[in-house]
Amino acid sequence: MASCRHCGQGLIPGKEIGGQYCCAGCQAAHDLVEGLGLDQYYQRRSLDPAQRPLVPEEDDAARVDFTQHAKPGQKGDQVLYLMVEGLHCAACVWLIENVLARQPGVTHARLNMTTRRLELRWIDGAADPNLLVHSVTQLGYRLVPYDPARIGDAVSAHEKELLKCMAVAGFAAGNVMLFSVSIWAGQADYMGWATRTFLHWLSALIALPAVVYSGRPFFKSAYEALSAKRTNMDVPISLGVLLATGMSLWETVRAGEHAYFDAAISLLFFLLIGRYLDSRARGRARSAASHLIALGARSVTVLLADGARKLLPPQQVATGSIVLVAPGERIGIDGKVSEGVSDLDASLISGETLPIQAKPGTPVFAGMLNLSAALRLEVTAAGEATLLAEIVRLMENAEQGRARYAAIADRVARWYAPVVHTAALGTFLFWTLILGTAWQPALMIAVSVLIITCPCALALAVPVVQVVASGRLMRQGILMKSATALERLAQVDHILFDKTGTLTLGRPELLPGDWTAADLALAASLAVSSRHPLARALARRCPEAAPMREVTELAGLGLEGDGVRLGRRAWCQVSDELDGGEGPELWLARTGRQPVRFAFEDSPRLDSKETVNALTKMKYSLELLSGDRAFAVESLANRLGVAKWRALCLPADKVARLEELKQAGHKPLMVGDGLNDAPALSAAFVSMSPSTAVDVSQTAADVIFQGDRLMSVAETLRVAKKSNMLVKQNFGLALAYNLVTVPLAMAGHVTPLIAAIAMSSSSVVVIVNALRLGRR
Longest dimension (CA), the chain: 119
pLDDT score for 293: 56
Q: Could you give the C-alpha distances from 722 to 271, 715, 729, in angstroms and in order?
A: 31, 11, 10
Q: Are 272 and 221 in contact (CB under 8 A)?
A: no
pLDDT score for 531: 78
SS3 label, residue 10: strand
DSSP notation for 719-730: HHHHHHHHHHHH
Length of the chain: 776
- If we measure between CA atoms, which residue out of 44, 467, 132 comes closest to residue 282? 467
Q: Give the ranges where 383-455 is alpha helix by DSSP (H).
A: 387-399, 404-414, 416-429, 439-452
Q: How far apart are CA 374 and CA 344, in angstroms?
A: 11
pLDDT score for 503: 86
What's the CA angle centered on 182, arms 180 and 186, to 5 degrees? 120
Supply the residues annotated as catalytic. Answer: 498
What's the CA angle centered on 258, arms 254 and 259, to 5 degrees? 85
Paired with 330 in beta bridges are 369
pTM of the model: 0.56
Q: Are 109 and 97 in contact (CB under 8 A)?
A: yes
pLDDT score for 564: 92
pLDDT score for 12: 53
pLDDT score for 152: 56
SS3 label, residue 377: strand
Q: Are 767 and 276 in contact (CB under 8 A)?
A: no
Query: Torsion-angle region of residue 119: left (phi > 0), alpha (psi -120 to 50) or beta?
Result: beta
What's the CA angle centered on 368, arms 367 and 374, to 5 degrees? 125
Q: How far apart are CA 695 and CA 678, in angstroms?
A: 13
Burial zone of 435 (CB within 10 Å; 0-12 exposed, 13-18 middle, 19+ buried)? exposed
What is the helix, strand, coil percentage profile of the chain, to 5?
50, 15, 35
Burial zone of 156 (CB within 10 Å; 0-12 exposed, 13-18 middle, 19+ buried)? exposed
pLDDT score for 143: 80
**What residues contact 298, with CB distance under 8 A and at least 6 apart?**
314, 330, 332
Domains (range + CATH), the chain: 35-150 (3.30.70.100), 300-385 (2.70.150.10), 481-505+605-719 (3.40.50.1000)
Sign of the CA dihedral with 333 first, then 334, 337, and 338 last: negative
DSSP notation for 173-217: HHHHHHHHHHHHHHHHTT--HHHHHHHHHHHHHHHHHHHHHHTHH
Measure the N-to-C terminal CA separation of the chain; round to a whole number of Å: 48
Q: What are phi and psi of 111, to 5 degrees?
A: -115, 125
HSE value, Cβ hemisphere, 13 Å, CA-based, for 544: 3
Q: What are phi and psi of 574, to 5 degrees?
A: -85, 130
Average pLDDT per run of 10 along the chain, which is 776 residues long? 52 57 52 48 44 37 66 79 69 76 87 75 86 80 67 68 89 84 65 80 91 89 73 73 84 80 78 71 51 60 83 82 84 88 73 70 85 86 76 57 53 64 86 86 82 67 76 80 82 90 79 88 90 84 87 84 89 78 82 88 84 92 85 86 86 85 92 70 86 55 82 92 87 82 86 72 78 73
Q: How far apart are CA 587 and CA 629, in angstroms?
A: 13
pLDDT score for 254: 82
